[in-house]
């Protein structure tokens, strides 16, 4: 389970009909691309899909609010992986469960976030995102929009390692020990 990307530096706001990018691992041929495209087109609200085998990414346009969790589920249901990243944020000013609930809901509404846990006692939030979908600055801004101060602790971990800067340069996660591409190299054919 893993990676979605709002176009570099621009976060898609829920309801704006924006598109998102999603990283996809394990595709090896044009048939894989076709399977992923079909799976993504079946997600409610998707208006257009373009999958690129060489970059291992898909660009998905929505007619309404982006549902990145549904995209991840569709890709995984087709037999492929979406990489994830985890971020820790310091969240200052929370005093109760209601405060942490408000912060958690705000984080979960950011396109590309697949999970968020907020602890008011430690004043921390751990956010799991589709890799490359969201920057730590976008997460902190979502928290600040709820009235609390937020700052990144650090990038906790990713699979594979990714820098915390914005941009669209993603390391290849392809295994070097795969069978060379050919008519029968696709394990899903």
CA distances from 54 to 11, 92, 172, 174 (A): 24, 42, 10, 11
Looking at residue 150, its pLDDT comes to 94
Note the pTM of the prediction, 2 decimals.
Answer: 0.62
Looking at residue 181, its pLDDT comes to 38
Looking at residue 157, its pLDDT comes to 55
Q: What angle do CA 138, 143, 144 make, to 5 degrees?
A: 95
Taking each helix axis from N to C end, the angle separating 30-41 and 68-77, rounded to the nearest 10 degrees, works out to 140
Domains and CATH numbers, the chain: 4-77 (3.30.70.100), 84-158 (3.30.70.100)
Looking at residue 180, its pLDDT comes to 38
pLDDT along the chain (189 residues), means of 10: 34 52 91 96 94 93 85 93 92 92 94 90 92 88 95 63 37 37 48
Rounded Cα distance, 40 and 46, in Å? 7
Looking at residue 7, its pLDDT comes to 33
How remote is the C-alpha of 75 from its chain's centroid?
12
């Amino acid at each position: 389970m893993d990676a979605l990307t709002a176009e570099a530096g621009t976060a898609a706001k829920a309801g704006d009909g924006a598109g998102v990018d999603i990283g996809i691992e394990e595709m090896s041929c044009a048939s894989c691309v076709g399977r992923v495209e079909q799976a993504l087109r079946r997600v409610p609200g998707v208006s257009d899909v373009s999958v690129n085998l060489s970059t291992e990414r898909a660009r998905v346009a929505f007619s309404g609010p982006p549902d990145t969790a549904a995209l991840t589920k569709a890709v995984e249901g087709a037999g492929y992986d979406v990489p994830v990243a985890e971020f820790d944020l310091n969240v200052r000013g929370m005093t109760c469960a209601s405060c942490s609930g408000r912060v958690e809901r705000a984080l979960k509404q950011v396109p590309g976030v697949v999970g968020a846990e907020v602890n008011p006692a430690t004043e921390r939030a751990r956010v799991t995102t589709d890799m490359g979908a969201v920057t730590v600055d976008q997460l902190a801004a979502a928290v600040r929009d709820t009235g609390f101060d937020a700052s990144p602790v650090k990038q906790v971990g990713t699979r594979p390692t990714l820098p915390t800067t914005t941009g669209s340069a993603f390391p290849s996660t392809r295994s070097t020990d795969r069978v060379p591409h050919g008519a029968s190299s696709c394990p899903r054919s």
